[in-house]
Structure 1
C-alpha cells in the first residue's frame, strides 16, 4: 500500500532546509532587536556582560551559523538550551501554559533547535558541503 501517494517524501530534504533557514532568520531578529534595536526597539541595548546581552549575542551569532548551516548540531544544541533556560526563567513563572505566559516562541525555538541538533543541517548548508549534513528526516 502506497502511504505517500503524492510523493511528498521528495520534499523532506528541501523542507528540512527551509525550516532551518526560516527559524534561524526569525531567531537572528530576536537577537538584533535586543542588541541593535533593529527593527524598531524602544529598549536600550543591554550590556554584553549581562544575561540579556549574552542571549542577544548567542541569538545573532548562533542564529547566523544555523542560517548558513555551519556547525549546526552543536550550535543548535546550545541554542535549544538557551531557549529552555529563557522559558523556565522568564515565562514558566507566569503560568504553566505557553500561550498564556507569552512563552510560545521560546518553547518552539527550543524544540526546533533540539530537533536540528539531532537531525543536522540537512541540504542547502555548509555542513552538507563539508560532508556532514546528512538529513535524518
Structure 2
C-alpha cells in the first residue's frame, strides 16, 4: 500500500511539472546553403510562464521573432521572451510569431527530425526545459518573411 501511495505522489508531481504542452512543431524546408530556418508550434501552459530561451544542436542559435507592420513594411524583430498566459494557447505560425534557427548545420528537408529545447520560466524564476522534435515540412508557396536573412 505504501508503494502505491508513493507511486501516486510521483505521478502527480510529474503532471505538475509537465505544465507546458507543445503541439504540432515543424520547421519550414530550406534551400541548400540557406543559413536560417523558421520553426512553428502551438504552445499552452497551465500557468503564466515566459519562453525565455531556446536552443538546438541543429543551429548555432535559436531566437523568438515577431512580425510587425512598420510604415507599410513587414519587419521582423527578436523578442527577449514570449509571455504565455495560463491556459491560453500561443501559436507560432508563418507571418507571425516564430522561432528563427540561425546558423543551421544542414538544409532542412521534408521529414527531417530537428531537436529543440524550449526553456520556460514562471513568476518565481523556476525554469522548465521542454525537449521537442520539430519535423521538416515543405510549404506549397514559400512566404517572403525570411528572404531578407
- Does the alignment reach a TM-score above 0.5? no
Give me the TM-score of the superposition, normalised by structure 1. 0.30
More helix by share: 1
Give me the TM-score of the superposition, normalised by structure 2. 0.29
Larger Rg: 2
Larger relative contact order, structure 1 or 2 (CA cutoff 8 Å, min sep 6):
2
More strand by share: 2
